[in-house]
Chain A
Amino acid sequence: MEHKQWPLWEIFIRSRQGLSHRHVGSLHAADAEMAVENARDVYTRRQEGASIWVVPASAITASSPDEKDVLFDPADDKVYRHPTFYDLPDEVKNM
């Protein structure tokens, strides 16, 4: 019988309180509980984690690299969104 693979889960770890969860990799598991247990063993053997998120890889919608220009180029010519765009007189020390 052809074995059906366990689904793929993307793993996100919060390394300590105060930081956001960060993608660390993926793994296979039969269900969400097993994915959390496996993520504990695979990605937090050296106290790297305070919290784990597991997300079915199939549930992620990603932007396509082909859309990179359309999505991100419009920000290129909006330098006025950065504070460095504005010249201030030397007298203004902190703003």
Chain B
Amino acid sequence: MWNQRIFEVLMEMDLLQRFEAYVASEKKIEPKDWMPDAYRRTLVRQISQHAHSEVVGMLPEGNWISRAPSLKRKAILMAKVQDEAGHGLYLYSACETLGVRRDDTIRDLHSGKAKYSSIFNYPTLNWADIGAIGWLVDGAAIMNQVPICKCSYGPYARAMVRVCKEESFHQRQGFQIMMTMAGGTAEQKAMAQDALNRWWWPSIMMFGPPDQDSPNSAQSMAWNIKRFSNDELRQKFIDLTVPQADLIGLTVPDADLKWNAETGHYEHGPIDWDEFKRVVAGHGPCNKERLEARRKAWDDGAWVRDAARAHAEKRASRKSDSNTAAA
């Protein structure tokens, strides 16, 4: 009995070592392959939260579909929101390959056990917010997601390739809205500036806590789930976005922001991590509203799911009855 246990532990250690060497050599893990429990748990947590973010992310934008300023903008926004639903589904499907039930994943969102990106707990107050979301929020998401296209877990990496391909239209349409408003009347420009003022800080918080406060990052990097640190990605995003704001005549709301010619990077002011923690903990402006909307959609749709299932079962049994009769 004791020998058996030692044998199992040794086997596990051997498997773990081989797994880590395999992943380190840039090879991919597929669903049925052996993987350490912690690797599976990390992926389930990350992929499901990513999926939830896509789905909850439809809410702030869906808010403006009926009030888009033109038919063209409305068609574009609908296509974008539909993409977010699709992205959620690619990700739920990738998550399921790790052996979790879809319904349980969704239940964890509704119970508050699973998180989603806290950016979606901010309200969309005017049309310029739709521009700011596309430009900044989708821009930050792309920055986060591109490296995941090379993640060690095959299904997650493949889902991310599709997501990133589709996401670049999202960022461009957002920037175009901002550019149009910034070049419009003084009032329109003020709306665009106001949206930038409100979305800038939450957007750069999307990269997560600073590296020294991100204890799980090292393990995720070692497993090739994560490729760049939070601060590295944040810096890249700022370096890319500040000149875009300059180009359309808007000002990034950071008094300490300055270009450092020596490092070739922008230096930014302090980030209010207390606000970040408050929103993650459920005390942002819209946390309650978002979760309630998701729960309501799930509960209101229950009869449709049940009816469709009952209909399918009835048709299947009729088919098998007639097959039996024919035989």
A contact set with B: CB distance below 8 Å: 3-6, 8, 25-28, 30-31, 34, 41-43, 45-46, 62, 64-65
B166–A46 CB distance below 8 A: yes
Name which of B39-47, B86-94, B194-202, B287-295 contacts chain A: B86-94
Pairs across A and B, CB under 8 Å, 17 listed? A3-B305, A3-B306, A5-B103, A6-B308, A25-B90, A25-B158, A28-B102, A30-B308, A30-B309, A34-B308, A42-B86, A42-B89, A46-B166, A62-B32, A65-B32, A65-B33, A65-B34
Residue pairs across A and B with CB atoms within 8 Å: the count is 53
A3 to B155, CA, bound (A): 27
Q: Chain B contacts of A6 at CB under 8 A?
A: 305, 308-309
A26–B93 CB distance below 8 A: yes
A37 to B195, CA, bound (A): 38
- How far, in Å, is A61 (CB) from chain B's closest CB? 12
A45 to B83, CA, bound (A): 8
B interface size (C-beta, 8 A): 29
Q: Chain B contacts of A65 at CB under 8 A?
A: 30, 32-34
Q: Chain B contacts of A31 at CB under 8 A?
A: 308, 311-312, 315-316
A8–B96 CB distance below 8 A: yes
Tell me the nearest residue of chain A to B88, going by C-beta. Answer: A42
A57 to B167, CA, bound (A): 29
Q: Chain A contacts of B96 at CB under 8 A?
A: 8, 26
Q: Chain A contacts of B309 at CB under 8 A?
A: 4, 6, 30
**Most-contacted residue by chain A among B32, B155, B302 (CB, 10 A):** B32
A27 to B159, CA, bound (A): 13
Q: Chain A contacts of B166 at CB under 8 A?
A: 45-46
Q: Chain B contacts of A5 at CB under 8 A?
A: 101-103
Q: Chain B contacts of A30 at CB under 8 A?
A: 305, 308-309, 311-312
Tell me the nearest residue of chain A to B33, going by C-beta. Answer: A65
A6 to B302, CA, bound (A): 12
A38 to B178, CA, bound (A): 34
A6 to B312, CA, bound (A): 10
A25 to B86, CA, bound (A): 12
